[in-house]
Copies of this chain bind each other. A is one copy, B any other.
Amino acid sequence: MKLQIAIDLADSSTVLDIVDRIYDVIDIVEIGTPMVMKEGMAAVKRVKEKYPEITVLADTKIVDGGALECGDACKAGADIVTVLALSDDETISDVVKTAHQYGKKTMADLISVEDIGTRAKELKELGIDYIAVHTGVDMQKRGKTPLGDLRELVQAIPSSMCAVAGGVKLETLEEYVRERPEIIIAGGSLAGAPDVRKAVLDMKRKMSEQG
């Protein structure tokens, strides 16, 4: 089971301050969509330049132009590229094909998808590597969590392909770990913690205790 830190509220300079403190204990560093929209692939490039061994996910949320956009992210150094699950199958296939040509992986984000089980099975057939249930920050404000969606996901596809994102924190981690997803993604509860290294280690410890 892997822990992914989603970094949304930094820029390509300050993201290195965060990564400097956790590069040896984190499994995946996500450059979040707000960072991509502000600075493009700058943060992906800077993290990979300094830490070539770290797995970096670019949360591009591709929905069209699959080959072009995925290719640009791979060229910038991303190891995992995200695509929206509700994209047309044509786009999903192009993202998969392109990422695999570069030796990289893909994650489909199920945000706003209603029939999670059905779409997850289709995405698996299309060659996607990881499939994430994701309660967006805007829906979290309404009290929604991704736990029910995760339970649906692990019924539909192998747990080795499953990821979960959406407000996961130390206090609720246990519920998610119990479903055995491959990747647990935490954003504010790690990147926004007073001591990011301690926050990562606390979560990792809890994951391995239950693991």
Q: How many residues of A contact B (CB 8 A)?
A: 39
**Residue in contact with A138 in the complex, picked from B34, B37, B90, CB distance below 8 Å:** B90
Answer whether residue A163 sits at the interface, using C-beta atoms and an 8 A cutoff: no
- Give CA–CA (A134, B39) in the complex, Å: 25
Residue of B nearest to A38 (CB): B40
Q: Which B residues are CB-close (under 8 A) to A8?
A: 65, 68
Closest CB-CB distance, A72 to chain B, in whole Å? 5
Residue of B nearest to A72 (CB): B38
Chain A interfacial positions (CB closer than 8 Å to B)? 8-9, 33-34, 36-42, 60-66, 68-69, 72-73, 76, 84, 86-88, 90-91, 94, 111-112, 134, 136-139, 141-142
